[in-house]
């Protein structure tokens, strides 16, 4: 830290993204990426725009926004786009949480706390229930603005739109942000509610189900008034936030719905098979509706299993904390990789237990 | 504006980017884009990374940062990257201007005022001298943090590194940001000073001289401590801020130095020829060291000339204000286009004068 950094940021702790390893080849199940490359339509669309890269993009991103609006059955003034859903969430914190403060689960996406700290926004967290589910009553009884991932991360557990609707109704004077990064893998979503509630923002990403984590495209759906607020911040910080390549890649990925549905189905099928196999091998696994599983071996140190897996060339993610520290968040990859994973984690847990790394 | 928007942002006025027209084909000289497509190396590099877009980028962007460091003869811990230089400038305002406040010229890049307002940063502006040059003494005698584009926009007039050095020395306790978006077209730059002064940030972009306005890549060079501060904000808002495609495009553009130098030379040559032709046609033109010219016809309304040019299919940019309102900022395009431009503006000014739009 330099002597020049503002007082405001001197105690800020940045978000730590999942490792992008460079030292060797791993079975990489640590950042919830899709195991499938993007649609072939993406390569074609990107190649088609490279010759125009000397020109700025359309800062309104009308073409992409219209395509997203059509896909979701809303109007294009109900959509705006970000460089990944993180950028959208950053704006939502500033625009809607500054006055009210924020409320979110104690076990959730670790970035919420960072944005709250970054923008000096007070926040309260509500503990998940024993089965890692969210109690909607917590959020009905606070006047703070709310952000909840649905399905939640890193548990994969879904809250569901009926509960979200109760939270929306409990206080129509504050915004509720539903972070649907993983909703394409779930049994439902909250997009239809955006037409009914003017205090709802649904945030989406192309990173997981659309195989574009490296493309950096996210978006949100909300009332036209909320979208204008978010765009006010977008145009006040970085109006050309998506490259022409990203906008073209996202639009192409959206257009290839067959490929998208096929991949989502494969991942969900593999998730269920892997979950059963892990349970049969004596692991606890939540009923995840995301593209990852949240896994623990009762009595065995999660940190030790994580290390042993890494030694074996398998990367997973672990989040320190009293309730999460022994769980591993495991991205659902291809079927063959997950078969290998089940065998590796069973063997790793055995090795760890034998060497006495118990909890 | 919704009822939900924070009080903090209710009077915020967003930056207005130059128009990206959709209604017809224009000779587009309004956003300082390069008239040349990106290097052929860019298409190849981008095509090579599309298959990996399902994976997140390296959030450290080590490959691109190392290439930039090598190009500029600094170490890679003296470089960080942004989605355009705007994103870098946004972080600089937050990190270094919050405590001290900001100082910048009265006629300059319009976004500085927006960032200051966005982050509730007090600022003062110093008027340019009569010839549109910056008086370095203004900035030597303020304790505020400083941001100056060199060359300045929209005038194109250069301050120069000797004057910047005086400003740096005058108060080593505050940061000076030199926005070198246009420095590749100028007779010198401040990058060498980053090795000597730990309170200097030099901001660069791939948008102009590297033909990547649509690719969204910028970077800055500063002491390792300042870079760590900027990266603290980057990792606290959007760590994967560049797509794999943008990082690959930027690195490829940087590698093709022959193409870059050839284009810069063409643009500078065309700028000088166009300037002389405009002066011969009775226009006032500043001695711009950027890829644009700042042009006025004494006594004739700039707004009227701008409209008349638009009617003729030529887009330029005009900034309202007592000192700038009658000037047009004209991007330097290809030689043949600029020949047409000189003829169009001379004829447009004549039409305007005849219809009585005088000032």
pLDDT score of A20 more than 90: no
Spatial distance between the Cα atoms of A101 and B293, rounded to a whole number of angstroms: 48
CA–chain centroid gap for A152, Å, is: 8
Given this model, what pLDDT does residue A89 score?
A: 98
Given this model, what pLDDT does residue A23 score?
A: 78
User: Does residue B173 sit at the A interface (CB-CB below 8 Å)?
Assistant: yes
In sequence order, the 6+-apart residues with CB closer than 8 A to the CB of B190 are B150, B161, B164, B178, B180, B183, B200, B202
Spatial distance between the Cα atoms of B37 and B59, rounded to a whole number of angstroms: 28
Element (H, E) at A145: strand A145-149
Element (H, E) at A90: helix A85-92
Between A157-171, A184-198, A343-357, the lowest mean confidence (pLDDT) is in: A343-357
Half-sphere exposure of A203 (CA within 13 A, CB side): 28
pLDDT score of A357 more than 80: no
User: Is B41 in a helix, a strand, or coil?
Assistant: helix
Domain ranges of chain A: 13-36+258-354, 40-255
Q: What is the per-residue pLDDT across A29-82, written as a single tens digit (0 to 9) for each?
A: 999 999 999 999 999 999 999 999 999 999 999 999 999 999 999 999 999 999
User: Does residue A41 sit at the B interface (CB-CB below 8 Å)?
Assistant: no
B239 to A15: CB separation less than 8 angstroms, yes or no: yes
**How many residues make up chain B in this entry?**
359
- A54 closest CB neighbour out of B43, B94, B211: B211
List of chain B residues whose C-beta atoms are within 8 Å of the C-beta of residue A239 = 14-15, 17, 86
Query: How, if at all, do strands A314-315 and B145-149 pair?
Result: unpaired
Do the Cβ atoms of A134 and A109 come closer than 8 Å?
no
pLDDT score of A150 more than 80: yes
B4 to A249: CB separation less than 8 angstroms, yes or no: no
Å between B149 CA and nearest CA of chain A: 18
DSSP A189-247: -SGGGGGT-TTEEEEEESSSTTS-TTT--EEEEE-HHHHHHHHHHHHHH-SS-S-HHHH
Closest-CA residue of chain A to B14? A236
- A214 closest CB neighbour out of B223, B244, B249: B244
- B53 closest CB neighbour out of A214, A231, A240: A214
**DSSP-assigned beta bridge partners for residue A126:** A105
pLDDT score of B305 more than 80: yes
DSSP A290-358: SSEEEEE-TTB-HHHHHHHHHHTTEE-B---STTTTT-EEEE---HHHHHHHHHHHHHHHHHHHHTT-B
CATH code of the region B40-255:
3.40.640.10
User: What residues of chain B, 64 to 123, have a C-beta less than 8 Å from chain A?
Assistant: 83-84, 86-87, 90, 94-99, 114-115, 117-118
Å between A342 CA and nearest CA of chain B: 22
Given this model, what pLDDT does residue B19 score?
A: 84
Architecture of domain B11-36+258-354: Alpha-Beta Complex (3.90)
Residue B204: name the closest of B330, B16, B69 by CA: B69
pLDDT score of A178 more than 90: yes
Given this model, what pLDDT does residue B302 score?
A: 96
Spatial distance between the Cα atoms of B169 and A44, rounded to a whole number of angstroms: 52
pLDDT score of B355 more than 90: no
In sequence order, the 6+-apart residues with CB closer than 8 A to the CB of A253 are A38, A39, A41, A42, A206, A210, A211, A212, A215, A260
Given this model, what pLDDT does residue B69 score?
A: 98
pLDDT score of A336 more than 80: yes
Closest-CA residue of chain A to B110? A236
Q: What does the pLDDT average to over A329-346?
A: 98
**How many residue pairs bridge chain A and chain B with CB atoms within 8 Å of each other?**
301
CA–chain centroid gap for A44, Å, is: 27
CATH code of the region A13-36+258-354:
3.90.1150.10
User: What residues of chain B, 328 to 347, have a C-beta less than 8 Å from chain A?
Assistant: none
- A90 closest CB neighbour out of B4, B7, B238: B238
User: Is B340 in a helix, a strand, or coil?
Assistant: helix
Q: What is the per-residue pLDDT across A179-224, written as a single tens digit (0 to 9) for each?
A: 999 999 999 999 999 999 999 999 999 999 999 999 999 999 999 9
pLDDT score of A103 more than 90: yes
Interface with B, mutate which of A38, A214, A223 (most B CBs under 10 A): A214
Q: What does the pLDDT average to over B230-247?
A: 97
Spatial distance between the Cα atoms of A132 and A319, rounded to a whole number of angstroms: 15
Q: Longest Cα pair distance anywhere in chain A, in angstroms?
A: 61
**DSSP-assigned beta bridge partners for residue A146:** A103, A176
User: Is B222 in a helix, a strand, or coil?
Assistant: strand
- B99 closest CB neighbour out of A7, A52, A87: A7
pLDDT score of B201 more than 90: yes
Q: What is the per-residue pLDDT across A275-302, written as a single tens digit (0 to 9) for each?
A: 999 999 999 999 999 999 999 999 999 9
Q: What is the per-residue pLDDT across B89-143, written as a single tens digit (0 to 9) for each?
A: 999 999 999 999 999 999 999 999 999 999 999 999 999 999 999 999 999 999 9
Closest-CA residue of chain A to B4? A96
Spatial distance between the Cα atoms of B312 and B29, rounded to a whole number of angstroms: 13
List of chain A residues whose C-beta atoms are within 8 Å of the C-beta of residue B214 = 49, 52-57, 243-245
What percent of chain A shows pLDDT beyond 70?
100
Given this model, what pLDDT does residue B24 score?
A: 83
A50 to B42: CB separation less than 8 angstroms, yes or no: yes
Specify burial of residue A25 (Cβ count, 10 A radius: 0-12, 13-18, 19+).
exposed
User: Does residue A228 sit at the B interface (CB-CB below 8 Å)?
Assistant: yes
Task: Give CA separation, B319 vs A193, B43, B290, in Å.
Answer: 42, 35, 17
B2 to A198: CB separation less than 8 angstroms, yes or no: yes
pLDDT score of A358 more than 80: no
Between A350-354, B157-161, B283-287, the lowest mean confidence (pLDDT) is in: A350-354
A56 to B33: CB separation less than 8 angstroms, yes or no: yes
In which residue are the tokens 């569901």 written?
A160
- A240 closest CB neighbour out of B5, B7, B84: B84
Spatial distance between the Cα atoms of A113 and A15, rounded to a whole number of angstroms: 9
Q: What is the mean pLDDT of chain A?
A: 97
Q: What is the per-residue pLDDT across A5-19, written as a single tens digit (0 to 9) for each?
A: 999 999 999 999 888
């Amino acid at each position: 830290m330099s002597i020049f950094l503002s007082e405001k940021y001197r105690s800020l702790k940045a978000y730590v993204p999942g490792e992008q390893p460079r030292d060797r080849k791993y079975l990489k199940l640590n950042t919830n990426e899709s195991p499938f490359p993007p649609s072939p339509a993406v390569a074609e669309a990107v190649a088609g725009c490279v010759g125009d890269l000397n020109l700025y993009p359309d800062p309104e991103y009308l073409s992409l926004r219209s395509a997203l609006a059509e896909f979701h059955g809303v109007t294009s003034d109900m959509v705006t786009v970000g460089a990944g859903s993180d950028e959208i969430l950053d704006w939502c914190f500033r625009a809607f949480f500054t006055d009210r403060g924020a409320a979110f689960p104690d076990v959730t996406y670790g970035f919420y706390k960072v944005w709250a700290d970054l923008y000096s926004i007070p926040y309260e967290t509500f503990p998940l229930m024993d089965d890692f589910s969210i109690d909607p009553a917590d959020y009905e009884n606070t006047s703070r603005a709310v952000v909840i991932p649905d399905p939640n991360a890193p548990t994969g557990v879904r809250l569901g739109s009926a509960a979200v609707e109760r939270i929306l109704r409990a206080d129509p004077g504050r915004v509720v942000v539903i972070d649907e990064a993983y909703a394409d893998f779930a049994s439902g979503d909250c997009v239809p509610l955006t037409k009914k509630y003017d205090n709802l923002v649904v945030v989406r990403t192309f990173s997981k189900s659309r195989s574009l984590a490296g493309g950096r495209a996210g978006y949100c759906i909300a009332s036209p008034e909320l979208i204008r607020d978010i765009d006010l911040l977008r145009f006040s910080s970085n109006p050309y936030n998506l490259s022409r390549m990203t906008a073209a890649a996202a639009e192409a990925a959206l257009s290839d719905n067959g490929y998208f549905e096929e991949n989502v189905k494969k991942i969900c099928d593999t998730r269920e098979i892997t979950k059963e196999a892990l349970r049969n091998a004596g692991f606890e696994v939540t009923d995840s509706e995301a593209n990852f599983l949240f896994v623990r071996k009762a009595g065995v140190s999660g940190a030790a299993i994580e290390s042993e897996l890494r030694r074996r060339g398998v990367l997973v993610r672990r989040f320190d904390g009293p309730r999460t520290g022994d769980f591993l968040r495991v991205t659902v990859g291809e079927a063959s990789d997950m078969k290998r994973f089940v065998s590796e984690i069973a063997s790793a847990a055995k090795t760890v237990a034998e060497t006495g790394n118990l909890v």
